[in-house]
Amino acid sequence: MPIVYQVLGSGEPLILIHGLSGSMRWWRRNIAALSRHYRVYSIDLVGFGESRGRHPFVLSEAASYLAAWMERVGIGRAVVVGHSMGGLIAADLAAEHPDRTARLVLVDGAVLPFGYGYARHLIGLMRALWYTPIGFLPVLVIDAWRAGPRRVLSAGRQLLKADIRGKLDRIEAPTLLVWGERDTVVPLEIGRRLCRRLRRAELVVIPSAGHNPMWDCPDRFNHAVLAFLGVAARRPRPG
């Protein structure tokens, strides 16, 4: 089953990869700003969003599948942006296929092992709902419902077991880590640890944002990403 995607803008390609139970809709507040400077490909991973179906989601194969998709649609090298589980996939792609990754942006990326089990992770997810904007809840619920509980749970188990630490030294691309200050799903401390592990990384913390800073604080997020990419952007509104 092919990856379903949408394209907007022109120029150097930039790929947006959503996280667990998500879809391309999670980037709704960012695509317009990014597509003024880049040809933005927002994708639905196999098993999620419009790419859902009978094909199972296999986290360990997702980066290779993404590289094959890039070859198929004619993307040689791109800026790759991944959120949460999508961040792990983006980092895996950058490690396994450095020729495909010009720059890397990891948004609250679940790249390092959590170091704790299902119970504590569930508590973090429940706490995250407290910081979730009301307007985002319908998107979250509908996308999770479309993926289905079995697929979401399976992907969650795969994510908790994933460990690509042995590959991180192979990431050559300059990397921006963007983290929500109030993230209880993938806590900021993981972002700090990841910044120390990567050779060419910088960390930007977005105040008042939770696990989804690109939705919670889109102006600040868009400005941080475009500044990292060397694009002059309008400064975010205060607050």
Residue with tokens 């008042």: 208
Least confident residue range of 4-8, 144-148, 221-225: 144-148
From 212, 206, 214, select the one nearest 132 (Cα to Cα). Answer: 212
Residue of higher predicted confidence among 210 and 134? 210
Give percent of the chain above pLDDT 70.
Answer: 89
Q: What is the mean pLDDT of residues 205-224?
A: 96
Contact yes or no for 67/80 (Cβ under 8 A): no
Question: How does pLDDT run across 32-52, given as a tens digit for each residue?
Answer: 999 999 999 999 999 899 987
pLDDT at residue 182, rounded to an integer: 92
Three-state SS for 13?
strand
pLDDT in tens, 95-131: 999 999 999 999 999 999 876 555 555 555 555 666 6
What's the distance, Cα to Cα, between the start and end of the chain in Å? Answer: 43
Instruction: Name the pTM for this structure.
Output: 0.91
User: In this model, does residue 219 exceed pLDDT 60?
Assistant: yes
